[in-house]
Chains A and B, each alone.
Chain A
Amino acid sequence: MSRVVLVLGDDVSTDAIFPGRFMATVLPAETPQFAFADLADFNKGVRDKTITPGSAIVAGHNFGCGSSREQAASCLKGPDLTIVARGFARIFLQNASNLGLRTIICPEIEASEGDEIEATADEIVNVTTGRRCRVLPLPSARQAIVDAGGLVAYARELLIAERTVTL
């Protein structure tokens, strides 16, 4: 069960998720302090950890559009959030699966802040309202990386296999 801590509309850009002026901060351990820096209440919740791990952000279409900055995914991965959106922008979705940030594509999702939602492989149940919404699978190219626990682990296995043979 996840508590919905933030509800957003369509086209949430990576400038909103991780404003450009903080981009000199790159390391995944340091980026969460600037997550949605211009949404003061949410950002404070991340910084003082009143937003608990496993909480969910619910958004509309094209979540994560714009810049390829990976900080936009790592700043949400740090506090262990789940992103449920009607759709994701390509690069953000790739960064999320590469870093192990949980993303769920749910084209009819509706929720309000404070709702409790439950995700299964096929659907999301809004426990508060009783509404059920179907979930679309991640692109298969993404799922393989998620299953491996992220791209670092996935690439490391390939690297060992390939460089050990060729060296």
Chain B
Amino acid sequence: MSGMTITQKILARATGRASVAVGDIVEPAVDLAMSHENAALVMNQFEEIFKGTSLTPTVWDPSKIAIVFDHRVPAESSKTATNQKKVREFVRAQRIARFHDVRGDEGGICHQVLAESGYDRPGSVIVGTDSHTTTHGALGAFAFGIGATEMAAVWALGRVLNVEVPATIKVVVSGDLAPWVGPKDIILSLIGRLTAEGANFRVIEFHGDTIEWMNTSGRLVLCNMAVEAGATSGIVPADDETVRFLRSEAAVTGELDLVCADPGAEYEEVVEINAATLAPQVACPHSVDHVQPVTAVEGRRIHQIVIGSCTNGRLDDLETAARILRGRRVSRDVRMLVFPASWRVYREAMERGYLADLVEAGAVVMNPGCGCCLGIHQGALGDGEVALSTTNRNFKGRMGNPNAEVYLCSPAVAAASALTGTISDPRY
């Protein structure tokens, strides 16, 4: 028998089998099922499943469900507020413990909250009603996005139905990144090479010395955007850094199972990236795979800069921005919005002075949340305006206006560009 990839090993264990092969149909047990505001739709479908049966609608295991409000916090309309109210009532009735409401102590963007709260475990199966659930592969989990009805079935049955074991693309990243070049530039470059559907129905497994040296924050960036190449999931082999993060930053105790790929694991494709020669990258409108080095779009006039989202709103992202902006001024041609990824990130950035640096430079620090990225909660663009953003998608209409444009980049490119009001190279 040939060896298994990380994904195969996790799925084998989650189905109680010795091994699974690519293409097998399996029904893995779920360790963590995450939803955000769209829990309102999951609830509706969950009740539909129970309709006509004599059974009471109860979730299979309330300790394995997480619900985090992050898309519209605080509620921007009575409709959202009513949906959130219904979800709160459901959470209480079903005794769901991992609930993160609009709170300054434990709120934030779902993907950041899951990681920093210690809910992610290597070797586990995580599903979320959010396509960026791929993020949690950074901690060695097999994590993927599903729709609301599929989540309703998970809430009822505790497993994901009819999952086809995906093939894996191995991405090997080697070399030291140049100053002002980071994980975002690696993943944008990879998406540009693979295209927006190049990894559709496949998993991306990240290897190489660049990944081994990378901290968890950077790995979260890579896995977060794996879905932009169509990937079912991104995954980084769990290692000492994974253990360090979970123990010291997420207060995880107990045994950890660091699942690795077998030496003879079969990969559908191997892609190599030389990190040492990589320049800062920018994804141009209106597709995430329309990627160019920053030098190709330098000087493009922009109107709004956004630093934040589940991709790049963590402490080191804010630190990078603060270092560039400290004692300087955001250009009067541009407005700059900063959304810390969670309230924990917010508080730490406040304690370290990053928020003061940013605000004194002219940036506006918003409350943690992800609504700006998809144009549903603050920071919408005007007709003909151009945004430069550390978020993850630039589809037409993404930031709330189909007559606007969004460029995607790293926090370093975003902050350097804030000084000039045009897309700028942070290296100069």
Contacts and interface: CB of A to CB of B under 8 A. Distances in A.
Say if A and B assemble together: yes
Interface of A: 10-11, 13, 15-16, 19-21, 23-27, 38, 61-62, 65-71, 73, 87, 89-91, 94-95, 98-99, 139-142, 144-145, 150-152, 154-156, 158-160, 162-164
Interface of B: 25, 38, 40-41, 44-45, 48-53, 55, 71-72, 77, 79-80, 83, 129-131, 133, 145-150, 152-153, 156-157, 161-164, 196-197, 200-201, 230, 232, 287, 374-376, 393, 395-398, 400, 402
A11 B44 CA distance: 30
A69 B163 CA distance: 19
Task: Identify the 10 closest CB pairs spanning chains A and B, nearest first.
Answer: A62-B197, A20-B374, A95-B147, A141-B162, A26-B41, A155-B153, A13-B395, A70-B147, A15-B395, A68-B131
Given A11-B197, A15-B398, A19-B397, A158 B157 contact: yes
The A contact surface, by secondary structure, is: helix
The main secondary structure of chain B at its interface with chain A is loop
B162 A145 contact: yes
A13 B398 CA distance: 10
B398 A26 contact: no
B150 to A, nearest CB: 6
B160 to A, nearest CB: 10
Contact of B376 (A23, A90, A162, A164): A23
Given A20-B374, A67-B131, A160-B53, A152 B397 contact: no
B288 to A, nearest CB: 9
Contact of B396 (A16, A68, A144, A159): A16
Contacts of B201: 90, 139
A91 B147 contact: yes
A83 B371 CA distance: 29
A33 to B, nearest CB: 14
22 contacts: A13-B393, A19-B375, A20-B400, A21-B400, A23-B376, A27-B44, A38-B402, A62-B230, A65-B230, A68-B131, A68-B145, A68-B147, A91-B147, A95-B149, A139-B164, A140-B25, A140-B164, A141-B162, A151-B150, A154-B153, A155-B156, A163-B55
